Amino acid sequence: MRIVLAGTGSAVGKTTISTGIMSALSSKNKIQPFKVGPDYIDPTYHTLATGKPSRNLDSFFMSEAQIREAFFRAMKISNSKIGIIEGVRGLYEGISPTGDVGNTASIAKALNAPVILIMNARSLVKSAAAVVLGFKMLDPEIKIEGVILNQVKGQRHYLKAKEAIETLTNTPVIGGIPRSDSLTVEQRHLGLVPAVERENLLGFIEKWSRVVEENIDLELLEDIMGNAGKISSEREDLWQITNRKKVKVGVALDEIFTFYYKENLEALEDNSAKVIPFSPYHDEEVPDVDALYIGGGYPEIFAGELEKNQKMLQSVKKFHLDGRPLYAECGGLMYLMQSINQHKMSGVFPYPATMTKKVQGLSYVIAKAQENNIISKKGDIFRGHEFHYSKIKTDNHAKFAFEIIRGKGIINSQDGIMEKNTVASYVHTHAAACPGFAANLTKNAAEF
């Protein structure tokens, strides 16, 4: 059983409604949540709503066969029978105006999954039917099996829009969510506020769940999921597994560093790594490990707190100076710099990181390794994404591991600043899009 919850555009309330549905159905079912696209934030809501780690599905990162492998793998790990997939932006929005790569429709096709459209119905009645009809006609391969209306003014508005859609498009309307400020969520510059920052988020999710239960026909939704057709049996491995020597990898995991794809950690474990969490915020030194992985997050918001933990900053720099493998992404990259907005950081690299008002990098990325390094070999091409509001001021002495073929990088289409066995990059990698990531990192850790 599976369903794709897809928006008709932006600002349709897709995440709150999707999370509410996941929470409501989790009371009597095991739900495996998924998110389309390179997103770390929405999945934290899904995870709190279901108790299961949300997984990302992305056709820029994965082939169709890998999408199916990722889906079945997650369903098996969580022992779930229902997969609920929250889409990204509008159903058909991807990296090109005509293709499917990177959009929600590509995931629905790969999984032969029925789609429920979530539409902002404010001021719409008959025009809502035109929107649904257009979405259905654009790609007949997409199985749009239902509609959820959001921002409904009242029962009269809902019934009129429902009649228009069902009569003119032969598509059931399975619910209408009333206009309410309680269904909005605070925004931050990287999107929805991460779940770990909101102590009362479970209260929000409970409220969303109640609204869903009161306004959406969940039995009809389950019937639609139950009638989904078969999925192609063609599947493909997500990542390389070559390292057999046991190693320990320390992973920065706390309220500051939270941006990790679950698959990246599992790929490390598949390559004989024991993942050991540590906190750059709370701990005084790095754990006894063979390699470090510092992912993304919000170090700029907690720069003052990180600066105060001098013992940890010195421990991280010593790890680097000892020549042990250290890989950092985005927020982790900034943590390895000399400073963030003049707050002193670890100083692994002697360059300042400065926050800006405008986004500096927001793109899918294609990168090519210019040098052998701890996550890739010279000539390897891999994919990722970048999303940051900061700049790194480098000099002519900086050495870079990656040429950025698509995207921006640190400077002059280069990224992956490197020294000794350390690589720090704005590129967020996914194990399926950089299949040698875990194998190479653990191999370097084992060799050291």
330 is catalytic: yes
**pTM recorded for the entire structure:** 0.95
Q: Looking at the domain assignment, is residue 242 inside a domain?
A: no
Q: Looking at the domain assignment, is residue 106 inside a domain?
A: yes
Q: How far, in Å, CA of 115 to CA of 134, rounded? A: 14
Domains contained in the chain, number: 2
Decide which of 226, 256, 284 is a domain's last residue. Answer: 226
pLDDT tens digits, the chain, 448 residues: what are they? Answer: 999 999 998 777 899 999 999 999 998 999 999 999 999 989 999 999 999 999 999 999 999 999 999 999 999 999 999 999 999 999 999 999 999 999 999 999 999 999 999 999 999 999 999 999 999 999 999 999 999 999 999 999 999 999 999 999 999 999 999 998 766 665 555 455 565 566 678 888 999 999 999 999 999 999 999 999 999 999 999 999 999 999 999 999 999 999 999 999 999 999 999 999 999 999 999 999 999 999 999 999 999 999 999 999 999 999 999 999 999 999 999 999 999 999 999 999 999 999 999 999 999 999 999 999 999 999 999 999 999 999 999 999 999 999 999 999 999 999 999 999 999 999 999 999 999 999 999 999 999 8
Same domain, 30 and 147: yes
Same domain, 275 and 210: no
Using CB atoms within 10 Å of the CB of residue 397, give its burial: 0 to 12 exposed, 13 to 18 middle, 19+ buried. Answer: exposed
pLDDT score at 70: 98
Decide which of 174, 195, 226 is a domain's last residue. Answer: 226
Same domain, 136 and 276: no
Q: Looking at the domain assignment, is residue 240 inside a domain?
A: no
Amino acid at the residue 208 = W
Question: Annotated catalytic residue: which of 67, 330, 334, 445?
Answer: 330
CATH number, residue 59: 3.40.50.300
Amino acid at the residue 249 = V
Range of the domain at 67: 2-226
Max CA distance (Å), the chain: 70
Q: Looking at the domain assignment, is residue 238 inside a domain?
A: no
Q: Looking at the domain assignment, is residue 254 inside a domain?
A: yes
pLDDT score at 185: 63
